[in-house]
């Protein structure tokens, strides 16, 4: 389905019972809504699962501006159009950065937060340099080259050894990202603020989920992030890397379902 929000169009999927607790799932970089297929299929039996493509990704419009705040504003407008006053906001990695911006700007629409394989800190200089290099790769060699450079870090060692088909699946998704979206999101992530001081203000239940083999958002960093959230609880998923929801969907879904059922 397509929604017109602000100056662009957002593609989104909306499945599950209309009166189920709404769960808005925000994909990471450079993903699209397909990241959440294992959650959409399982969790929509009980919950209303909304999986949009952020602007610049999937079938959404690619026009800017790009920022974590803009992504959050787009999603708040989408919820309003869908008649949803409050939702559980779930973001993985860059989606978690968007979830933090959503809390900063639209807290009244937040029933609870789920942060998966993400971080509250801003980029350091080394990360900004890597992002500049990736922008050059995207502009000169395209999304497929970006996918090749990113996919190994996206999944854990267990998935790489035992599930090459999942690695290929993730790579295909990364390779489909529009170059405008890749560049826009990289530039936006480089200037996103440090949200560490925001964490103690989170006054709703929060679940932090991380794969034990995540090398991009390691367990120790997510443990510290979660400890700074007043009602934060941490779930570490065994044998999973950065896309823990794809690598170990049953464990991820169980953690989410148990959390949402208690709200
Ligand atoms: C993601 O999966 O969204 C990215 O790893 C986020 C990032 O590059 O910081």
Q: What's the CA-to-centroid distance between 186 and ligand 1, angstroms?
A: 9
Phi and psi torsions of 2, nearest 5°? -120, 135
Q: Tell me if 189 CB under 6 Å of ligand 1.
A: yes
pLDDT reported for residue 118: 98
CA distance 114 to 260: 10
Q: How far apart are CA 95 and CA 53, in angstroms?
A: 11
Q: Which residues contact 113 (CB under 8 A, 6 or more apart)?
A: 88, 89, 90, 99, 103, 202, 204, 205, 206, 207
pLDDT of residue 171: 98
What is the number of residues in the chain? 263
Q: Which residues of the chain have pLDDT under 50?
A: none
Helix (H, G, I), strand (E, B) or coil at 231: coil
**DSSP-based helix, strand, coil % in the chain, nearest 5:** 50, 20, 30
Distance, CA 19 to ligand 1 centroid (Å)? 32
Q: Could you tell me if the CB of 215 is within 6 A of ligand 1?
A: no
Give the pLDDT of residue 83: 97
Per-residue pLDDT, 123: 98
* C-alpha to C-alpha distances, 52 to 135, 144, 238, nearest whole angstrom: 24, 22, 27
Q: Is 28 in the pocket of ligand 1 (CB under 6 A)?
A: yes
With a 6 Å cutoff on the Cβ, whether 94 touches ligand 1 is yes
Are 88 and 23 in contact, with CB atoms under 8 Å apart? yes
190 within ligand 1 shell (Cβ under 6 A): no
Cα–Cα distance, 64 to 183 (Å, whole number): 11
For ligand 1, whether the C-beta of 120 sits within 6 Å is no
Ligand 1 atom closest to residue 27's alpha carbon, by position in its atom list: 3
Strands 48-52 and 8-15: antiparallel
- How far is ligand 1, taken at its centre, from the CA of residue 30, in Å? 7
Which of 26, 27, 28, 54 for mutating ligand 1's site (highest number of atoms within 8 Å of CB)?
Answer: 28
Q: What are 21-69's pLDDT values in tens digits?
A: 999 999 999 999 999 999 999 999 999 999 999 999 999 999 999 999 9
d(CA 253, CA 224): 23
């Amino acid at each position: 389905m397509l929604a017109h929000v602000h100056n662009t169009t957002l593609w989104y999927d909306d499945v599950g019972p209309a009166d189920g607790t709404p769960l808005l799932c925000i994909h990471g970089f450079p993903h699209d809504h397909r990241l959440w297929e294992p959650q959409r299929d399982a969790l929509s039996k009980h919950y209303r699962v909304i999986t949009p493509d952020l602007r610049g990704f999937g079938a959404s419009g690619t026009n800017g501006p790009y920022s974590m705040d803009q992504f959050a504003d787009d999603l708040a407008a989408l919820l309003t159009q869908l008649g949803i006053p409050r939702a559980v906001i779930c973001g993985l990695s860059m989606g978690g950065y968007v979830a933090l911006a959503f809390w900063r700007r639209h807290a009244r629409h937040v029933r609870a937060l789920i942060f998966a394989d993400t971080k509250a800190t801003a980029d350091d200089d080394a990360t900004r340099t890597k992002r500049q290099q990736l922008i050059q790769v995207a502009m000169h060699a395209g999304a497929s080259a970006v996918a090749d450079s990113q996919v190994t870090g996206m999944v854990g060692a267990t998935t790489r050894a035992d599930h090459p088909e999942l690695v290929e699946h993730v790579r295909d998704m990364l390779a489909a990202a529009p170059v405008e979206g890749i560049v826009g999101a990289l530039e936006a992530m480089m200037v996103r603020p440090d949200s560490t001081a925001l964490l103690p203000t989170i006054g709703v239940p929060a679940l932090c989920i991380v794969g034990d083999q995540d090398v991009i958002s390691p367990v120790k960093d997510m443990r510290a992030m979660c400890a700074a959230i007043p009602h934060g609880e941490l779930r570490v998923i065994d044998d999973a890397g950065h896309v823990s929801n794809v690598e170990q969907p049953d464990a991820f879904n169980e953690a989410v379902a148990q959390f949402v059922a208690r709200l």
